[in-house]
Amino acid sequence: MKLAYWMYAGPAHIGTLRIASSFNNVHAIMHAPLGDDYFNVMRSMLERERNYTPVTASIVDRNVLARGSQEKVVDNIVRKDREETPDLIVLTPTCTSSILQEDLQNFVERARMDAKGDVMLADVNHYRVNELQAADRTLQQIVQFYLEKARKKGELPEGKTEKPSVNIIGLTTLGFHNNHDCTELKRLMGDLGIEVNQVIPDGASVHNLKTLPRAWFNLVPYREVGLMAAQYLETEFGMPYVGITPMGIVETARCIRKIQQVLNAQGAQVDYEDFIDTQTRFVSQAAWFSRSIDCQNLTGKKAVVFGDNTHAAAITKILAREMGIHVVLAGTYCKYDADWFREQVSEYCDQVLISDDNAQIGDAIARLEPSAIFGTQMERHVGKRLDIPCGVIAAPIHIQNFPVGYKPFVGYEGANQIVDLVYNSFTLGMEDHLLEIFGGHDTKEVITKGISAESDLNWTKEAQAELNKVPGFVRGKVKRNTEKFARDRGIAQISLEVMYAAKEAVGA
């Protein structure tokens, strides 16, 4: 047992559901107790999704506990198949259902006989993998399922596309700025003259998966999701993949050079050096920023970085290499992939922290006293408590991290966005210090607020206490309305009763 207040990565089934619901017309059925379907809430709320989340639960209740699911799961799969005719139904175990050790594979086999669409069981162990690992595995599983199916039917398309083309793998629903990153990556590929064969899983159709091998290579922008699928495609179809996250000016260039190498190895004869140079020096603002006086002022400032592997590693490199900021600590909660992280950031920071215990990270931040933090929502709250500004760079995230405006993290526009994020975090911190030194803003305090600030009315102790319970931002209004009510009726003493009578009368 572990005492936990907060977790960075969710349970495994969330990863599976993120993949399933990213595809078009794929439905997930969770074998879960009542209330475990809050994934739908998260998707509907955070992503402001207009469509019903294609996830339902086959409820595990007392009866299931006593007698097993029996026909229930099969019936639910077949029913959903009829109702919505999805291309694929993914049966998703949860941590509760995995202890029941029911033969879910058998349910899937039986449901397959009656369902028109495909049915599969997500192969994830809830006690061994987290959300990210499960997402990676589920995506690979679905890709493999459809490629093997196509191969068996002899439907695998032959050869490559005429022009160089790419599959972008790993963009999912509820991923950090994934939708903006997707647009930016497509634009980048367009600029490079590379056709986008497919983007998976976001918005993809499982029927098109068989054309994946037609692309010249695969691009996996995130370390956490998509690697397994890319590695599968490499072993089965000899497709090379590029696993460099194009985040920050230097890494974007490195990613593009790798793409160039991969394409030229297949006879494309492309040269992207001019493109990289123009983008870096004249189009993107990030490189120029690093030379500007603003950025000079950031030199040697201390920062702490924490997040998932992709974002924490990329931001660490950007801060240290592109802005001259002193990264005192870089950390990740992807413990299962810690070696990769260490190897990526070791030369760019003083100290590496691999942990999913937020207290440990909070303590480290308090001890190091950086001028800015780049982390998850949790680090933002640590920052609030310690009065240190924080830029959010990775999940877990809140609704404000699903901006409506265009805010990619990858590519050249992504580099611009990151500059803003970093710069704003630090200047805010500076302003704060200056204000502290000079004793606050140089403005006169507002002494009166409205007409009835000077009160001739008495509040009883109880009423005063009750008033103090009213949240600060409406307290003044409640007070004024109550006193107005009392004055209108010639009441001199405001008691609890008067207070509530006033509320009833005027909705104070």
The residues carrying an active-site annotation are 294
Nearer to another protein (CB atom), residue 84 or residue 87? 84
* Among candidate residues 77, 92, 115, the one with its CA nearest the CA of residue 19: 92
Q: How far is the CB of 52 from another protein (least distance, A)?
A: 5
Q: How far is the CB of 44 from another protein (least distance, A)?
A: 5
Nearer to another protein (CB atom), residue 100 or residue 270? 100
Number of other CB atoms surrounding residue 440 within 10 Å: 8
Please list, in sequence order, all residues whose beta carbon lies within 8 angstroms of the beta carbon of residue 155, skipping any fewer than 6 positions away: 210
Please list, in sequence order, all residues whose beta carbon lies within 8 angstroms of the beta carbon of residue 27, skipping any fewer than 6 positions away: 20, 54, 55, 56, 80, 84, 86, 88, 89, 90
d(CA 383, CA 312) in angstroms, rounded, equals: 17
d(CA 181, CA 47) in angstroms, rounded, equals: 15
Structure tokens at 19: 């993949």
What is the amino acid identity at position 213? P
Q: How far is the CB of 100 from another protein (least distance, A)?
A: 7
d(CA 112, CA 495) in angstroms, rounded, equals: 70
Nearer to another protein (CB atom), residue 49 or residue 420? 49
Output b/e per residue, 354-363; b: 16+ Cβ within 10 A: bbbbbeebbe
Q: Are 408 and 181 in contact (CB under 8 A)?
A: yes
d(CA 178, CA 201) in angstroms, rounded, equals: 11
Nearer to another protein (CB atom), residue 15 or residue 248? 15
Nearer to another protein (CB atom), residue 126 or residue 187? 126
Q: How far is the CB of 136 from another protein (least distance, A)?
A: 17
Binding residues for another protein, rule: CB under 8 A, are 1-7, 10-11, 13-14, 32-38, 40-42, 44-45, 48-53, 56-62, 65, 76, 83-84, 94-96, 99-100, 126-128, 130, 381, 384, 396, 398, 462, 466, 469, 496-497, 500, 503-505, 507
Q: How far is the CB of 60 from another protein (least distance, A)?
A: 7
Q: Are 39 and 53 in contact (CB under 8 A)?
A: yes
Nearer to another protein (CB atom), residue 40 or residue 144? 40
d(CA 491, CA 485) in angstroms, rounded, equals: 8
Q: How far is the CB of 494 from another protein (least distance, A)?
A: 14
